[in-house]
């Protein structure tokens, strides 16, 4: 006596419920319900078009699937762990609705190409949402940068004051990072926009199917040319997780700096109350929790990438049950990065920038030392010699607890008679920024060019 499973003809006994639960994926792959129904509709329409199914049977299946789709939209569809996955659940529901003719839906296909198709569709439908959120974030960055072209702040290397820069320049650096993220996700679309439907279990089918027709019905740009590859390929998911990991790394770096900039030690910026929280014991606290959460969530996205890479690393062709582990990490990553982008965008669009604090930080340091070295070099002193001279001068100033601009012209001339009164202008932070007018530099002119180009790019 066979089991109750739709595939149970070869089996003579049922598995225990706890075994069924372990093997089932319906708890998470029901997120692909709409995609599974759409895939089945495309498949049955192809079966009808090719004459593999007669019109009456095909129309009955189509009507049943459309009703199931409506029930899902209404929230009345109930799934059963006994039916393992979303594909068997939909087929079981369809069978109860229209009878044995539902079994004809599976003609010329397998769950192997069915699940691959669902997975492609799921990601294909979500990548544009992610890209759109990135565009929204870029627009916010452009607006902030435009408002802060002439806002001066310290630039850092090794977290030490290095040279003064424009805050607008700083923001446009992250704009460029997110631009590359968009490029990666758009390239990811190319490998996601391929239809596995019709590859069947691994070797294709004997039925005269039309894979190009079903691909067109689903909006796919092309079909897999090899049936083995079609059912076993998860490169598109790995690319997505890799791209998402890089994106989260960019967000995490930004959030790390936000967490520093809002601290008492810096006070460069202040976050809106909407994106901060307080302390249950310390009344004065205003914690950058949303920035910290986004920074923390980068770890789970990295974990999802490493998880799928590890799952895939030793899999023989073609389909293996291990591939059931391909989806949860992707679903979780989609659920993580879209809200992270929304929250991050809201957080920085409502940021308060303490321009005076930023500027003061560039006056009370030695980040203008390179200006003096460049000045001496422009007078004919070899740069290495100029570098050594200024280094000794900085040490002297540190010992005297003064800044370079506090030295008298006489003290400057004791170093070199080539130094003139114009050195005090040269040492001003805003002049240091303005003078860096090389392509991609931090000068106001260069930042405005970056912003103009960015506006063209996102139109």
Whether 291 and 261 share a structural domain: yes
The answer to whether residue 45 sits within a structural domain is: yes
Last residue of a domain, one of 359, 375, 403: 359
Percentage with pLDDT > 90 across the chain: 90
On whether residue 3 sits in a domain, the answer given is no
Residue 370 pLDDT exceeds 60: yes
Query: Which of 7-11, 257-261, 423-427, 441-445 comes out lowest in average pLDDT?
Result: 7-11
> What integer is the mean pLDDT of 143-155?
98
Neighbours of 144 (CB within 10 A): 21
* 87 is annotated as an active-site residue: no
Residues in the chain: 459
- Total tally of structural domains belonging to the chain: 3
* pLDDT above 50: residue 105: yes
Give the domain range for residue 31: 8-107
- Angle at which helices 111-147 and 167-192 cross, to 10°: 160
CATH number at residue 27: 1.10.275.10
The answer to whether residues 65 and 135 belong to one domain is: no
Is 211 inside any structural domain?
no
Number of H helices, E strands in the chain: 19, 6
419/359 Cα distance (integer angstroms): 25
Give residue-wise pLDDT tens across range 158-207: 999 999 999 999 999 999 999 999 999 999 999 999 999 999 999 999 99
Same domain, 443 and 364: yes
Do 312 and 339 belong to one domain? yes
pLDDT per residue over 331-367, tens digit each? 999 999 999 999 999 999 999 999 999 999 999 899 9
The active-site residue out of 2, 263, 279, 378 is 279
Q: Is residue 334 part of a domain?
A: yes
In a shared domain, residues 127 and 89: no
43 assigned to active site: no
Residue linked to tokens 């294909």: 124
Instruction: Dig out the tokens for 140 from the structure.
Output: 């916010």
Q: Per DSSP, what are the bridge partners of residue 270?
A: 352
Question: Do 100 and 116 belong to one domain?
Answer: no
Residue 275 and residue 334 in one domain: yes
441 lies in some domain:
yes
* 66 and 189 share one domain: no
DSSP 422: T
The per-residue pLDDT for 144 is 98
Is 156 domain-assigned? no
Q: Do 53 and 44 contact (CB within 8 A), yes or no?
A: yes
What gap in Å lies between CA 165 and CA 161, rounded to an integer? 11
β-bridge partners, 153: 165
The pLDDT tens digits for 52-103 are 999 999 999 999 999 999 999 999 999 999 898 999 999 999 999 999 999 9
Q: Which of 25, 40, 69, 158 is catalytic?
A: 158
Cα–Cα distance measured from residue 50 to residue 186, given in angstroms and rounded to the nearest whole number: 34
287 three-state secondary structure: strand
The DSSP code for 14 is P
Which residue, 359, 382, 416, sits at the end of a domain?
Answer: 359
Residues 366, 323, single domain; the answer is no
Residues 381, 437 within the same domain: yes
Q: Provide the Cα torsion 241, 244, 246, 248; round to 10°.
A: -130
From first CA to last CA, the distance across the chain in angstroms is 65
Q: How far apart are CA 283 and CA 285, in angstroms?
A: 6
**Alpha-carbon distances of 120 from 29, 91, 190, 238, rounded to whole Å:** 13, 20, 11, 12
Last residue of a domain, one of 336, 359, 382: 359
405 and 429, same structural domain? yes
Whether residue 120 is found in the same domain as residue 92: no
**CATH number of the domain enclosing 441:** 1.10.40.30
- Flag whether 1 is in a domain: no
pLDDT at residue 1, rounded to an integer? 40
Tell me, what CATH number does 172's domain have? 1.20.200.10
Alpha helices (H) along 233-316: 235-261, 289-312
């Amino acid at each position: 006596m066979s089991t109750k499973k739709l595939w149970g003809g070869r089996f003579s006994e049922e598995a225990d419920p706890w075994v069924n639960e372990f093997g089932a994926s319906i708890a998470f792959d029901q997120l692909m319900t709409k995609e599974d129904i759409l895939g089945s509709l495309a498949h049955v329409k192809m079966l009808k078009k090719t004459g593999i199914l007669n019109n009456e049977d095909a129309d009955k299946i189509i009507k049943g699937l459309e009703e199931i789709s409506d029930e899902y939209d209404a929230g009345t569809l109930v799934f059963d762990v006994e039916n393992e996955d979303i594909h068997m659940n939909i087929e079981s529901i369809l069978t109860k609705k229209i009878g044995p003719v539902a079994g004809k839906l599976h003609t010329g296909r397998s769950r192997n190409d069915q699940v691959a198709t669902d997975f492609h569709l799921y990601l294909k439908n979500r990548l544009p949402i992610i890209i759109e959120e990135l565009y929204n974030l870029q627009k916010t960055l452009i607006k902030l940068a435009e408002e802060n072209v002439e806002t001066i702040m310290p630039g850092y290397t090794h977290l030490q004051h290095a040279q003064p820069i424009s805050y607008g320049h700083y923001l446009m650096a992250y704009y460029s990072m997110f631009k590359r993220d968009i490029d990666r996700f758009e390239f990811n679309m190319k490998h996601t926009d391929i239809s596995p439907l019709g590859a069947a279990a691994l070797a294709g089918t004997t039925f005269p199917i039309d894979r190009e027709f079903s691909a067109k019905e689903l909006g796919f740009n092309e079909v897999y040319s090899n049936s083995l590859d079609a059912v076993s390929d998860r490169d598109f998911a790995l690319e997505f997780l890799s791209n998402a990991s890089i994106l989260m790394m960019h967000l995490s770096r930004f959030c790390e700096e936000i967490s520093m900039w809002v601290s008492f030690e810096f006070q460069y910026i202040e976050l809106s109350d909407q994106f901060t929280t307080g302390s249950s014991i310390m009344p004065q606290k205003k914690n950058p929790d949303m920035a910290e959460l986004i920074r923390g969530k980068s770890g789970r996205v990295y974990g999802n990438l490493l998880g799928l890479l590890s799952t895939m690393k030793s899999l023989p062709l073609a389909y293996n049950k291990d591939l059931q582990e391909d989806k949860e990490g992707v679903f979780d990553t989609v659920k993580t990065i879209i809200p992270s982008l929304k929250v991050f965008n809201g957080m920085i669009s409502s940021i308060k920038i303490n321009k005076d604090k930023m500027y003061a930080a560039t006056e009370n340091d030695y980040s203008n030392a390179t200006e003096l070295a460049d000045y001496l070099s422009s007078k004919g002193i070899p740069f290495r010699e100029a570098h050594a001279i200024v280094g000794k001068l900085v040490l002297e100033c540190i010992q005297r607890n003064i800044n370079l601009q506090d030295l008298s012209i006489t003290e400057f001339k004791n170093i070199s008679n080539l130094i003139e009164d114009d050195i005090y202008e040269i040492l001003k932070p805003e002049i240091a920024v303005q003078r860096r007018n090389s392509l991609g530099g931090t000068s106001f002119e260069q930042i405005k060019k970056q912003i103009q180009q960015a506006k063209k790019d996102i139109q």
